[in-house]
């Protein structure tokens, strides 16, 4: 069965965007960008909320850029299946489709299908998946910056989740990539 991975670039104090909604703090250098290019190849499906889909839509035409590292990521992203949850969009472009079922049903169907890992993105959508206990792995790239406010990567929880570190990598820029798996316990 395929894993569902919640992945984001985040400030050291846990924000995915600053108080004005900007994500300019998360500008990867060449080393980190190559890491993202390679990391993305572990996935064949992305599940997005509307806002993140609209932000990532840039990659639909980024293969026309001059930089090979940008072109590589764009081509990888374009090939991914994208499932978009939105109450306002009536159409999506490229290799994307609008979700037609509730989140739990859509993710269950994706998990059962053959393929690589499934990425879920968009803090609101991921929060719902976390509350439903559907996220298997958490991947964060932490930037050495404190934003002091904005949109948090993780919602407030009613109960704690136990995680186990399974991978870590540091970069010359001071960024750190951490991957955690959800520890599931069998209760009697």
pLDDT for position 186: 61
* Helices (runs of H) and strands (runs of E) counted in the chain: 5, 10
Q: What are the CB-based long-range contacts (under 8 Å, 24+) for 56-60?
A: 56/121, 57/93, 60/93, 60/94
pLDDT at 188: 45
Query: Among 184, 149, 185, 166, which Cα is nearest to 16's?
Result: 149
Task: Kindly tell me if the per-residue pLDDT of 179 is higher than 50.
Answer: yes
Give the separation between CA 92 and CA 78, rounded to whole angstroms: 13
Instruction: Say if pTM beats, i.e. exceeds, 0.85.
Output: yes
Query: Which two three-digit tokens encode residue 137?
Result: 């792995």
**Residue 107 CB neighbour total at 10 angstroms:** 23
Confidence tier at 117 by pLDDT (50, 70, 90): very high
Rounded-to-integer distance, Cα 52 and Cα 9, Å: 13
Residue 145 has pLDDT above 60, yes or no: yes
The domain locations on the chain are 4-182
Token representation of residue 59? 């990659």
Contact 31/172 with Cβ under 8 angstroms?
Answer: yes
| C-alpha to C-alpha distance for 121 and 47, rounded to whole angstroms | 6
Nearest to 5 by CA among 42, 35, 49: 42
Confidence bin at 66 (pLDDT 50/70/90) = confident
Tens of pLDDT along 3-48? 999 999 999 999 999 999 999 999 999 999 999 999 999 999 999 9
Average pLDDT of the chain to the nearest whole number: 92
In the chain, the percentage of residues whose pLDDT exceeds 90 is 80
Query: What is the second-level CATH architecture of the domain 4-182?
Result: 3-Layer(aba) Sandwich (3.40)
Indicate the range of 77-86, 113-122, 150-159 predicted with least confidence. 150-159
How many whole angstroms separate alpha carbon 85 and alpha carbon 83? 7
The confidence score (pLDDT) of residue 181 equals 97
């Amino acid at each position: 069965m395929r894993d569902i991975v919640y992945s984001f670039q985040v400030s050291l104090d846990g924000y995915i965007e600053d108080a004005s909604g900007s994500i300019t703090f998360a500008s990867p250098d060449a080393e980190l960008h190559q890491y993202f290019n390679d990391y993305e190849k572990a996935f064949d499906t992305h599940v997005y909320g509307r806002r993140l889909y609209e932000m990532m839509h840039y990659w639909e035409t980024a293969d026309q850029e001059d930089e090979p590292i940008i072109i590589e990521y764009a081509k990888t992203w374009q090939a991914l299946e994208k499932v978009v949850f939105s109450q306002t969009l009536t159409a999506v472009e490229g290799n994307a489709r609008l979700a037609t079922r509730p989140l739990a049903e859509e993710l269950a169907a994706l998990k059962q299908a053959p393929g690589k890992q499934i990425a879920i993105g968009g803090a609101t959508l991921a929060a719902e998946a976390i509350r439903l206990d559907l996220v298997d792995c958490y991947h964060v790239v932490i930037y050495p910056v404190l934003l002091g406010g904005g949109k948090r990567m993780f919602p407030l929880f009613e109960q704690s989740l136990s995680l186990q570190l399974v991978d870590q990598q540091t970069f010359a820029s001071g960024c750190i990539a951490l991957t955690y798996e959800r520890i599931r316990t069998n209760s009697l």
